[in-house]
Amino acid sequence: MYSLISATNGRTSSSAASVADMPIVYVVDDDVSIRESLELLIRSAGFEPMLFASARDFLSRWHDDGPSCMVLDVNLPGLGGLDLQRMLTSGGNRMPIIFVSGFGDVPMTVKALKGGACDFLTKPIDSVALLDAIRSAVARSKIIRREDEELTRLQLCYGALSRREREVMVRVVTGLLNKQVAYELDISEITVKAHRGQVMRKMNARTLPDLVKMAALLGLGERSGLH
């Protein structure tokens, strides 16, 4: 029988080095036979499975340390699959989720997909469909992680700007000319140009369109970011 989780992060010491770079597929299902069959299927496809018997078990042992997705049973005892999905998304986690259920209905499926799920499969699970869904979810996870890393980098760069530089930046990205920015801030146009140059340098922006895209990613709306 498969030992559910033998270490804190769910990987044995002998295999840790070889699977360190593998995307992780979390399987949360209370049926041990399904967990074991999915473990073999997932591993055969080149992913690292981590198995959990309940949502609580997952929450107590989960570590977000690389590209990943989740195969989640809707009808879990105690904390249900949809409840776990809500907990993750409300905490800002965007890990792709593939729901599986032996009792799926249309309203449940719609609710799961509206909550951000990648797919909803019914039991008995079709292995080809599941692996296709996992590959798609892992690809999505990699994109999400790159986006999160980029956002973190931009936040650090933006945090390095002075108050005045932020005031100049938010006006420049809304399309104001240097002389209009100077008028609004009651400073000289030369000073605006100097601050604008500092903003471009600190944000690592090569062009104004680059800076506009960065502002959008940071959620800097019109006249925001002035404090």
Q: What CATH number does residue 175 fall under? A: 1.10.10.10
> Are 135 and 197 found together in one domain?
no
Question: Mean pLDDT per 10-residue run, the chain (227 residues)?
Answer: 32 44 92 95 95 95 88 92 92 92 72 82 92 96 93 96 97 95 96 97 96 94 50
Provide the Cα torsion 34, 37, 40, 44; round to 10°: -100
Say if residue 140 is in the same domain as residue 187: no
Q: How much is the pLDDT for 166?
A: 97
Q: Using an 8 Å Cβ cutoff, are 202 and 157 in contact?
A: yes
Specify the pLDDT at position 114. 78
Regarding whether 175 and 88 lie in a shared domain, the answer is no
Cα–Cα distance for residue pair 201/197, rounded to 1 Å: 6
What is the span of the domain harbouring residue 70?
A: 13-147
Asked whether residue 4 is assigned to any structural domain, the reply reads no
Q: Give yes or no: residues 207 and 108 share one domain.
A: no
The answer on 175 and 122 residing in a single domain is no
Say whether 54 sits in a helix, a strand or coil. coil
DSSP 3-state of 98: strand
Both 74 and 181 in a single domain?
A: no
Could you give phi then psi for residue 88, rounded to 5 degrees? -65, -50
The CATH number that applies at residue 35 is 3.40.50.2300
Q: CA 37, CA 102: separation in Å to the nearest integer?
A: 16
Residue 118: per-residue pLDDT: 85
Helix or strand or coil: residue 191? Answer: helix
Residue 85 lies in a domain: yes
